[in-house]
Structure 1
Amino acid sequence: MLKKLPSVRALRLWLMESGVKTNGLTGWLSLALGLYLLLGSPRFVQGQNVCANPRFPGDFSVDKAKICVGSSVNIVGVPANLISAQYNFEYDGKSTIDKVTLAPTKAHTYSTPGSYTIIQSGTGNGAGTGTIFCKEVVVLPVDQVKFTVNVCSGRRAILVPDGSTLGQYDSYEIRWGDGTVERKTRAELTNQPAHTYSNSGNTVYTIALQGVYNPPADCKSTVSQSTPISLIGAATQPTISALKTTSDNTIDIDYQANTGIAVQLYQKVNGAYVSTGKTSTGGGTFTVQTDAKQVQCFQVVTQDACNSTPVKSDEVCSLVLDAKAANKQNNLSWQAYAGTATQFRFYRIRRNGVVNGQLTSRTTTTYTDANDITCGTQYCYSLEATVGPTTITSQQVCVNGINDGTPGDIEGVVVSIENNRPRIVANLPAASLSSTFTLVVSRASGSSGTYQQVGTLVNQNSFVDESADPAAGSYCYQLSYQSACGLSSKPSEPVCSVFLNSNSPKGIDWSASSPFTPSTVAEYIVEVIDSVNNTKREIRVSSNTHLDLTDADLESQTQKYRIITASSDGTVSYSNFYTFRSEVKIWLPDAFTPDGDGMNEVFLAKGIYLDQFRMTIFDRWGEVVFTTTDKQQGWDGTVNGQRALEGQYLYRIEVIDQTNLKTVRTGGVLLVRSKR
């Protein structure tokens, strides 16, 4: 068909816009010329479908209106009086008949799917020359329908189609490989059909799938096939044959299951079993990273792609063994076996790999090995439990044997602050002293604190606590003596460092806890270290724990002190150093009378511990009337040599003291002149 032409009115408007006058004969000639040019221009010529409303219709039929790619369509039913008929089997629907390549052939094979127009051109059929007739043919694709196969227990297979390859097929034919052929609709195929094989042998099967078109196409896709599959029998209960703890965080689990059966390991967490994510097929070993110092429980569970009901093994739990050495014996303990109790048979205790004892009660949780224990010899134990077909083995634990008398008590301890750290010295128990021993040092913050181990000493009796800060408070210590065989004395009586600080503006204070055992405090001596020349003097204060400082002591703004504690047997202990700092002091009058009578003539600041000084005087309007950095100089009540007016003035005094701290004082002073 020709493209729809524009109206004459529109053409006239176009010509007017182009500057062509349309009135009169000249205008109409111009319009006619425009129409000619417009209609005759090649860009307005468009091909038409000659199949639509042919002047002389022909006639024919095809043997199939729908075929598959690769199939042929044949022309049939051509009227006898239609002569010189020729055909094009892939008419494009827009070319004129004289532009179409025609041939007398009546059969054609299509290689590409789609919808095609067959055009017939001839003469006769009761009409003149140029008869035209067309028919549509649909060519369908024959692409493979892809799929995978899940093999499940119970000799079942599930076909899982690839939904993107289902195509336009009307149904799907499954050949299961054992002679069974099933036809499925699209919905049935999407639901993943399953097949159970009756043959009980070890036959390997190949499954085939083909898409099928209904008549008139009546053709099929190319066949897709699975890889050969081996069937799996019905799942039986899997078994955990061994569970062994190999380290503080590793457990190995040996298991058995049917050949080809997939299994998954589950672990009990907060009372419920959850998947560990570890899977395998048949038998093997799972290695689990977990807190093996706590009892851990497991199950092996069957699983397959068909969501068959899982079969679970019996619950199997680990064993955690603890061993402690005592004099002439080693004591073992554990938690009663927590797995399936009905199959419990016995415990075995192994010492250095050899069975040392056997217990038949599941609820027994202790064992004592007193068989020839030698001091210093290492003994390594493991605990086994036999539960049905399962052997559970704990991690091996080792202790050093003890065969010795209990050590005597530590005879005396002293703590003193030296080089700004507590140093503890112990008098060892002479009766049981051996060439190899260990001192265990425990510490508490203050006399009411909880003791915690802070260090050990091997073959030494003096310990320096590097982690303590004596200026922060008093620390108390206890020591215990361990012999070469690991036997310990009872902890010593506590000793506490003397802590010096200040609880009042003019005094120092120190803690009263004793730094000696078994001696007691006889007296305290206050050591005074001169802050200028570093000389020392001592003040004996008997049993007092407070010292008031005299004015003489406060002549320097800072003074260093230390407490020397003397015991009744003459032993001494030193406290921390403490520097006492006095606050800067400034005295100022609230009024002065610069009237020449010789009394109270100057406004002067007085103080102690003043190092740097600045005083500024302001009038009521905030103007500076006087300033000085000389602490001996005051304001005489003049401004620029003239007598200042009576009244209130403001001052600001800034002081840097002997410890380099800044102090600022502000206030008001009244200038008064007496009447004469």
Structure 2
Amino acid sequence: MESGVKTNGLTGWLSLALGLYLLLGSPRFVQGQNVCANPRFPGDFSVDKAKICVGSSVNIVGVPANLISAQYNFEYDGKSTIDKVTLAPTKAHTYSTPGSYTIIQSGTGNGAGTGTIFCKEVVVLPVDQVKFTVNVCSGRRAILVPDGSTLGQYDSYEIRWGDGTVERKTRAELTNQPAHTYSNSGNTVYTIALQGVYNPPADCKSTVSQSTPISLIGAATQPTISALKTTSDNTIDIDYQANTGIAVQLYQKVNGAYVSTGKTSTGGGTFTVQTDAKQVQCFQVVTQDACNSTPVKSDEVCSLVLDAKAANKQNNLSWQAYAGTATQFRFYRIRRNGVVNGQLTSRTTTTYTDANDITCGTQYCYSLEATVGPTTITSQQVCVNGINDGTPGDIEGVVVSIENNRPRIVANLPAASLSSTFTLVVSRASGSSGTYQQVGTLVNQNSFVDESADPAAGSYCYQLSYQSACGLSSKPSEPVCSVFLNSNSPKGIDWSASSPFTPSTVAEYIVEVIDSVNNTKREIRVSSNTHLDLTDADLESQTQKYRIITASSDGTVSYSNFYTFRSEVKIWLPDAFTPDGDGMNEVFLAKGIYLDQFRMTIFDRWGEVVFTTTDKQQGWDGTVNGQRALEGQYLYRIEVIDQTNLKTVRTGGVLLVRSKR
């Protein structure tokens, strides 16, 4: 019994070995051909799915009961001999890479003998994400836009819109960018998911791809142009309003039809358009979205082009009647130099005249505004220079005053006809009876300094005339004359009486005294007098500085030139002296006032110096070298420098007489 078993066992193994030899030793295996093709002894098995997805398992089923010792390789390369193939009894396998795979079975039995071979093909499908983007549209709509390069070979596609709605789409339907409208209740933010789906037998799905959270947009309302302003000859700014998140595009009318300008934005903002702004231009703001929703258009809004022309004493404005949506027109408003100058309520009114105080040469800048419903349309500003052929008004007042040692003339201009550009013509005469000659002009100024005049030489009288930008002149102003201060007497000062004011008159004169030592000032009111006698106190100093302040009836003041009153040096000398010792008239002594430096020299009849001194308190006692001088005539020379540094020389003769006792 044992040997029988052994014999049978040995016989089985020998048969298997022989089968393997015959199979593996055949020429086709030696040459590396696919052993799945026409195997000599076929095995048998099935798989639960001929198609699976990456990451799914394939399972071996349906192996005959009489096929024993079956082993498998799930990724047979189609060219290796069976002895080179790694086999294992495992009946399940998971693939990580998509592709077409051959499962090879090697076993014994199956009614066919030893060395059975059997193969099955299995397809492993990719599960790559299907990528997409989402366009959000008005009316709470979303459009799914797939990336065509990622659609793969899926049989269908499953969309989960995020609100509980799940839809299956064919490839064609997905390519057409499916849309979904969300209900008006619930969230406004959703996340959309997409998967590719394989039909049975694979019956699996791709990896899920998700959108970023999307925010829904409500129904689009009519956008509004809130302002249109022409800022230059070729630039128009358009302010607009639209729903948050709603995309809009600007359209412009060209040859009667609206065309896109290519300018787009979202929500509210400003469009700046380069165009011929010297012509009327019309615009609309139109909603747009990726869902091809019916666009909503704003009212038509058109620019205004203003023209201005100057005429005598008025400026004439004109424009084309507002060309935009007219049903909501409210009024035109005209601004002059930024200030409202007039308002018109009729849309068809196209002219306006401004005759409000137009002066010659003044620039007037105008803009036209139209208020149409919620929209304000503003034209570009235009400017003109006023024209006025009326004679300018009289200069209203003039004053002349000596400042910084020059006459300064200030005019009060004619307010009623004052223009922004004007000329003042200044004429001058030497004194009130002189002939007037032009000495200067002022452009857009009312103050003139006469650099060619010397106020210390005399009084200067002035007349001014006002000349407008149109070349029209006022009559000359009443003369005004600078006050000239000098001295016409040894102990007094005098000044000219012509008024430095017009039209006001002189109310009083004030003498300003400036101390020559400490520079302090004091004032002496002298009413309407034009002379002042100086007191002994005034004459204590050899020099004293004075100035006249002229006050008008309205409080205006004018200053004269400064004048320094100088007293001449005084020297007193005797004609004779008697140095005889009687105590009377013993010394020849010079006396004087305002003496600062002093030198006295005595000469005899032959011109010899007999005495000299620089001490003004010292005199000649009639001696020469300690000896009594002879009686007779002597000559003297006295040199004095006074307090004003002026040198004075006195010469003469003195008689020396001695008493006979």
TM-score, normalization: structure 1?
Answer: 0.55
1:323-376 per-position Cα deviation (integer Å, ceiling 9, x unaligned) = 111221111111111111121111010111111111111111111111111122
Q: Does structure 2 retain, via aligned residues, the 8 Å contact 1:637–1:643? A: yes
Which residue of 505, 511, 518 maps to 2:490? 505
Q: Does structure 1 retain, via aligned residues, the 8 Å contact 2:363–2:420? A: no
1:134-184 per-position Cα deviation (integer Å, ceiling 9, x unaligned) = 111010010111111111111111111111111111111000000000011
Greater Rg over alpha carbons, structure: 2
The 10-residue stretch of structure 1 (326-335 or 649-658) with the greater mean CA deviation from structure 2? 649-658
Which residue of 424, 427, 431 maps to 2:409? 424
How far apart are 1:200 and its partner, in Å? Answer: 3.2
Q: Does structure 2 retain, via aligned residues, the 8 Å contact 1:331–1:366? A: yes
**Aligned to 1:149, what secondary structure does the other structure show?**
strand
The 10-residue stretch of structure 1 (60-69 or 644-653) with the greater mean CA deviation from structure 2? 644-653
The 10-residue stretch of structure 1 (619-628 or 75-84) with the greater mean CA deviation from structure 2? 619-628
Q: Does structure 2 retain, via aligned residues, the 8 Å contact 1:400–1:485? A: no
Q: Does structure 1 retain, via aligned residues, the 8 Å contact 2:248–2:286? A: yes
Distance in 2, matches of 1:671 and 1:569, equals 69
How far apart are 1:485 and its partner, in Å? Answer: 3.0
Q: Does structure 1 retain, via aligned residues, the 8 Å contact 2:360–2:468? A: no
Distance in 2, matches of 1:560 and 1:52, equals 141
Q: Does structure 2 retain, via aligned residues, the 8 Å contact 1:401–1:485? A: no
Shift in alpha-carbon separation, 1:510–1:72, aligned structure 2, 3 A: farther
Distance in 1, matches of 2:209 and 2:294, equals 31
Q: Does structure 2 retain, via aligned residues, the 8 Å contact 1:584–1:610? A: yes
How far apart are 1:268 and its partner, in Å? Answer: 0.7
How far apart are 1:203 and its partner, in Å? Answer: 2.4
The 10-residue stretch of structure 1 (135-144 or 424-433) with the greater mean CA deviation from structure 2? 424-433
The 10-residue stretch of structure 1 (552-561 or 354-363) with the greater mean CA deviation from structure 2? 552-561
Distance in 2, matches of 1:19 and 1:452, equals 163
Shift in alpha-carbon separation, 1:378–1:520, aligned structure 2, 3 A: closer
Q: Does structure 2 retain, via aligned residues, the 8 Å contact 1:320–1:394? A: yes
Which residue of 424, 432, 452 maps to 1:447? 432
The 10-residue stretch of structure 1 (498-507 or 390-399) with the greater mean CA deviation from structure 2? 498-507
Structure 1 residues 171-210: aligned runs within 5 Å: 171-210=156-195
1:551-601 per-position Cα deviation (integer Å, ceiling 9, x unaligned) = 999999999999999999999999999999999999999999999999999
Q: Does structure 2 retain, via aligned residues, the 8 Å contact 1:402–1:486? A: no
Shift in alpha-carbon separation, 1:329–1:48, aligned structure 2, 3 A: same
The 10-residue stretch of structure 1 (428-437 or 210-219) with the greater mean CA deviation from structure 2? 428-437
1:463-485 per-position Cα deviation (integer Å, ceiling 9, x unaligned) = 99999999999999999999933
Q: Does structure 1 retain, via aligned residues, the 8 Å contact 2:463–2:477? A: yes
Corresponding residue of 1:646: 631
Distance in 2, matches of 1:638 and 1:212, equals 154
Corresponding residue of 1:549: 534
Shift in alpha-carbon separation, 1:400–1:52, aligned structure 2, 3 A: same
Distance in 2, matches of 1:394 and 1:610, equals 85
Distance in 1, matches of 2:604 and 2:46, equals 125
Q: Does structure 1 retain, via aligned residues, the 8 Å contact 2:633–2:656? A: yes
How far apart are 1:131 and its partner, in Å? Answer: 0.7
How far apart are 1:508 and its partner, in Å? Answer: 83
The 10-residue stretch of structure 1 (533-542 or 193-202) with the greater mean CA deviation from structure 2? 533-542
Shift in alpha-carbon separation, 1:27–1:353, aligned structure 2, 3 A: closer
**Aligned to 2:144, what secondary structure does the other structure show?**
strand
Q: Does structure 2 retain, via aligned residues, the 8 Å contact 1:470–1:499? A: yes
Distance in 1, matches of 2:477 and 2:57, equals 109
Distance in 2, matches of 1:134 and 1:666, equals 161
The 10-residue stretch of structure 1 (336-345 or 627-636) with the greater mean CA deviation from structure 2? 627-636
Q: Does structure 2 retain, via aligned residues, the 8 Å contact 1:22–1:30? A: no
Q: Does structure 2 retain, via aligned residues, the 8 Å contact 1:22–1:31? A: no
The 10-residue stretch of structure 1 (82-91 or 482-491) with the greater mean CA deviation from structure 2? 482-491
**Aligned to 2:105, what secondary structure does the other structure show?**
strand
Corresponding residue of 2:294: 309
How far apart are 1:199 and its partner, in Å? Answer: 3.5
TM-score, normalization: structure 2?
Answer: 0.56
Residue 207 of structure 2 is aligned to residue 222 of structure 1: yes
How far apart are 1:80 and its partner, in Å? Answer: 1.9
Shift in alpha-carbon separation, 1:402–1:125, aligned structure 2, 3 A: same
The 10-residue stretch of structure 1 (578-587 or 305-314) with the greater mean CA deviation from structure 2? 578-587
Residue 616 of structure 2 is aligned to residue 602 of structure 1: no
Structure 1 residues 522-601: aligned runs within 5 Å: none
How far apart are 1:64 and its partner, in Å? Answer: 1.1
The 10-residue stretch of structure 1 (556-565 or 37-46) with the greater mean CA deviation from structure 2? 556-565
Shift in alpha-carbon separation, 1:356–1:566, aligned structure 2, 3 A: closer
Shift in alpha-carbon separation, 1:328–1:648, aligned structure 2, 3 A: same
Distance in 1, matches of 2:320 and 2:427, equals 31
Shift in alpha-carbon separation, 1:392–1:552, aligned structure 2, 3 A: same
How far apart are 1:89 and its partner, in Å? Answer: 0.4
Shift in alpha-carbon separation, 1:370–1:650, aligned structure 2, 3 A: same
The 10-residue stretch of structure 1 (648-657 or 119-128) with the greater mean CA deviation from structure 2? 648-657
**Aligned to 2:24, what secondary structure does the other structure show?**
helix
The 10-residue stretch of structure 1 (407-416 or 659-668) with the greater mean CA deviation from structure 2? 659-668
Q: Does structure 2 retain, via aligned residues, the 8 Å contact 1:20–1:27? A: no
1:618-641 per-position Cα deviation (integer Å, ceiling 9, x unaligned) = 999999999999999999999999
**Aligned to 1:552, what secondary structure does the other structure show?**
helix
The 10-residue stretch of structure 1 (200-209 or 663-672) with the greater mean CA deviation from structure 2? 663-672
Corresponding residue of 1:50: 35
1:272-321 per-position Cα deviation (integer Å, ceiling 9, x unaligned) = 11111111111111111111111111000010001111111111000111
Shift in alpha-carbon separation, 1:160–1:22, aligned structure 2, 3 A: same
The 10-residue stretch of structure 1 (515-524 or 215-224) with the greater mean CA deviation from structure 2? 515-524
Distance in 2, matches of 1:262 and 1:624, equals 121
How far apart are 1:509 and its partner, in Å? Answer: 79
How far apart are 1:250 and its partner, in Å? Answer: 1.1
Shift in alpha-carbon separation, 1:109–1:410, aligned structure 2, 3 A: same
Q: Does structure 2 retain, via aligned residues, the 8 Å contact 1:402–1:487? A: no
Shift in alpha-carbon separation, 1:200–1:517, aligned structure 2, 3 A: same
Corresponding residue of 2:370: 385
Shift in alpha-carbon separation, 1:635–1:209, aligned structure 2, 3 A: farther
How far apart are 1:247 and its partner, in Å? Answer: 1.2
**Aligned to 2:174, what secondary structure does the other structure show?**
helix
The 10-residue stretch of structure 1 (370-379 or 535-544) with the greater mean CA deviation from structure 2? 535-544
**Aligned to 2:5, what secondary structure does the other structure show?**
coil
The 10-residue stretch of structure 1 (506-515 or 179-188) with the greater mean CA deviation from structure 2? 506-515
Structure 1 residues 211-250: aligned runs within 5 Å: 211-250=196-235
Distance in 2, matches of 1:666 and 1:136, equals 156
Distance in 2, matches of 1:577 and 1:18, equals 164
Shift in alpha-carbon separation, 1:528–1:170, aligned structure 2, 3 A: farther
Distance in 1, matches of 2:77 and 2:605, equals 109
**Aligned to 2:21, what secondary structure does the other structure show?**
helix
Distance in 2, matches of 1:152 and 1:308, equals 8
Distance in 2, matches of 1:619 and 1:213, equals 156
How far apart are 1:212 and its partner, in Å? Answer: 0.5
The 10-residue stretch of structure 1 (338-347 or 135-144) with the greater mean CA deviation from structure 2? 338-347
Shift in alpha-carbon separation, 1:446–1:405, aligned structure 2, 3 A: same
How far apart are 1:128 and its partner, in Å? Answer: 2.2
Q: Does structure 2 retain, via aligned residues, the 8 Å contact 1:327–1:487? A: no
The 10-residue stretch of structure 1 (506-515 or 112-121) with the greater mean CA deviation from structure 2? 506-515
